Amino acid sequence: MTFQYLHKMPTVEEILHDLPLSADLKKIKKKRDEEIRKVFTGNSNKMIMIIGPCSADNEDAVCDYISRLAAVQQLVKDTLLLIPRIYTNKPRTTGEGYKGMAHQPIPGKDPDVIEGLKAIRRMHLRALQESHLPAADEMLYPMNYGYLADVLSYVAVGARSVENQQHRLVCSGLDIPVGMKNPTSGDLDVMLNSVKASQLPHVFVYTDWAVETPGNPLTHAVLRGSYNRYSRHDPNYHYEDLMGLVDMYLKRGLENPAIIVDTNHSNSAKNYKEQPRIAWEVMKSRGYSPLLKKLIKGLMVESYIEEDAQSVTDSVYGKSITDPCLGWKDSERLVMDIAGMV
């Protein structure tokens, strides 16, 4: 092995001791988790909207954004549950570029994974304290999940991770919803295989322990579009795509069948301004088919304070340094529109 060992990492217990979740916030999160669970089990007619920056790169801007989101949540509470995106790890197709706050707590500076773990936990705790909205994060590194396990209400497994065995096994032990995205190839069987694997019980090695999990019945499918053989974007949010997935889903007999549609990535061909149109089309399809109305549980939207994206060195407050995002005004309008269509 040619690894250069830099630092012994702090344990989950050490980080949680230094940055604890208060008893009051535990109660808030538990109540919110129950509301979200009811959507996925079919005991609530509300919809989920997982919305926020492509990557959480600045604590002040992220918490500012989520506080704005909390005010809108009060306006749409009868039909929508808003789950803020606080994505602290960023997968990179080629391995180059900003890898998220967990790697680089200060974008553009050298990696510092110890301070990164502390920074992402501080940000999640502050956002929850100020907004009372527990967040979603992407599980890019399953071994790191414990550092945020007590503050998250939703976990996404990305298109490049969905075939990974460790992701599937770890997700089988979570007690919150897990969204398995279709892989970049668009293969829906791969996605549904991951859903099934996560819903089953397992025994495996995790953080130096042999562990046993009960299976996670809240694991579900997320459609994000794909790339074809010519590396062109292929959307999969149209009515025919949704009905095709419903047919595959129901034939498998999986628990709590549910679909979330990601309105960005390959579904929008990374044109962030298309997200409202895509969301509206999904909602119209949902209104047309009783099956889709039952199975489509929500939407994912990439949104920040300022629209579009910037380079790491530009330093515009509240503007994405990864994928382009919808700006706040358009995001607020979209949330209100979708709330009226549920």
Single out the residue of 289, 291, 299, 296 nearest to residue 337, CA to CA: 299
Neighbours of 261 (CB within 10 A): 28
pLDDT truncated to tens, each residue of the chain (342 aa)?
Answer: 788 777 888 899 999 999 999 999 999 999 999 999 999 999 999 999 999 999 999 999 999 999 999 999 999 999 999 999 999 987 877 777 788 888 898 888 888 999 999 999 999 999 999 999 999 999 999 999 999 999 999 999 999 999 999 999 999 999 999 999 999 999 999 999 999 999 999 999 998 899 999 999 999 999 999 988 888 999 999 999 999 999 999 999 999 999 999 999 999 999 999 999 999 999 999 999 999 999 999 999 999 999 999 998 898 999 999 999 999 999 999 999 999 999
**Per-domain boundaries in the chain:** 31-339
Indicate the pTM of the whole model: 0.96
User: How much is the pLDDT for 92?
Assistant: 75
Token output for 115: 């301070």
Question: Domain 31-339, what architecture?
Answer: Alpha-Beta Barrel (3.20)
d(CA 309, CA 323): 6
Q: Token digits for 299?
A: 């939407």
Which residue matches tokens 């926020």?
52
What integer pLDDT is reported at residue 315 of this predicted model?
Answer: 87
DSSP 193-208: HHHHHHHS-EEEEETT
pLDDT, residue 108, reads 82
pLDDT computed for residue 277 by the predictor: 98
State the burial class of residue 13 (Cβ atoms within 10 Å of its Cβ: 0-12, 13-18, 19+). Answer: exposed
pLDDT at residue 35, as a whole number? 98
- The residues with which 260 forms a beta bridge, in sequence order, are 222, 298
